[in-house]
Amino acid sequence: MSSLSFIGNSSSYLRIPNTPTFDFGTGDFTIEWYQYQRDNNPYPRIFQVGNYGTTGITIGLSIEGGNIYYWRPTGFTLITTLSASSYKNKWVHFAISRSSQVTKFFINGVTIGTLNDTTDYHSTEDLVIANESTGTNNAAFGGYIMYFTWVKGVAIYTSNFTVSNDYPTLTSDYVLLLKSSSFDGTLGNTVINNNVSTNPNVPPNFGNHNPFTLTITNMRPMFSNNALRFYKPGSLASCGVGSVRNSSIKSKKI
C-alpha cells in the first residue's frame, strides 16, 4: 500500500497540462480523493485550475484554518468549517459531485454542503494538485494523497454514501485517476512531477479509519525521478502524436 507524498512547500506539487478534456462545461462531474494532511500552511490548495488574484481560478478547493472553500470564476464559497481533529493527521475521503446543476460536497460519504451551480467550467490553465498555478509555500498542501479522480459527465454521488473499499471500475468518463503505481483515464497527456515522492508505507489509520478500508497490494512507485514527465501508457506512438513527441523524453511504461 502506498501514497503520493507532498512536502508542503512551493516546490512540491503535480501539474497536469491543460487540455479541453478537463473542461466540465455546464454538465455533471465528480472529483474525489483520499488525503492525509499534515501541513500547517495558511491556505493550502488540494487542487486548483488557475491562480488566485491574477489569472483567476476556474475550479479548486482549499482548506484554510478548517474552513473549506470551493473556488469558481465568480469567487469562493465557504462550504463548512471543520475542527483540526476531524481532517488533520488522519485519512479522509473527499468528494465533489455536480448533478443537474446542484453541486454537493462530501467527507467520508456524508454531505457537508450543497450549492446551486450553473458554472460553465472551462479554462486554459493547468490542473495543479497540492498548490495553485503559481506555487507558493502558503498555498502548498503537505501530506499524502491517494486516488485523485477527475470524472466528466457523471455525478457519482448525489446523496450520502458508504465509501467503497473497491478499486473503481474505469469507464470513458474517467478523465484522470492518479495512483501511486501509475495513472489511468482517457486523458492522453502528461503528469509533471515536481518533488513529489511515493511513500511506500501509507501512514497509520488508513485501514482502520471508519467508514472505509482499502486493501491495496503489489503497488509500484509512480515516480522514480523528480521533475520528469510521465506519459499515460499507450498515449504515444513510436514517433509521438500531434504536438507531443517521444524524443528527448520517452514514454515510461508503468
Residue with C-alpha cell 471500475? 169
Cβ–Cβ < 8 Å for 195, 227? yes
- Each residue's pLDDT tens digit, 27-44: 999 999 999 999 999 999
Predicted pLDDT of residue 164: 84
| Helix (H), strand (E), coil (C) string for 85-113 | HHHECCEEEEEEEEECCEEEEEECCEEEE
Residue 137 has pLDDT above 70, yes or no: yes
Q: Percent of the chain, pLDDT > 90?
A: 53
C-alpha to C-alpha distance for 116 and 101, rounded to whole angstroms: 6
Higher per-residue confidence, 192 vs 77: 77
More confident residue, 245 or 26: 26
Burial track 68-104 (b if 16+ CB lie within 10 A, e otherwise) = bbbbbeeebeebeebeeeebbeebbbbbbbbbeeebb
- pLDDT reported for residue 187: 56
Q: What is the DSSP letter of 25?
A: B
Q: What is the C-alpha to C-alpha distance for residues 139 and 247, in angstroms, rounded to an integer?
A: 34
Looking at per-residue pLDDT, the higher value among 135 and 95 belongs to 95
Residue 8 C-alpha cell reads as 508542503
Residue that wins the pLDDT comparison between 120 and 215: 120
Q: Comparing C-alpha atoms, which of 236, 203, 239 is closest to residue 6?
A: 203
Which of 2.30.29.30, 4.10.520.10, 2.60.40.10, 2.60.120.200 is the CATH number of 3-231?
Answer: 2.60.120.200
Distant-in-sequence, close-in-space partners of 235: CB < 8 Å, separation ≥ 6: 188, 189, 241, 244, 251
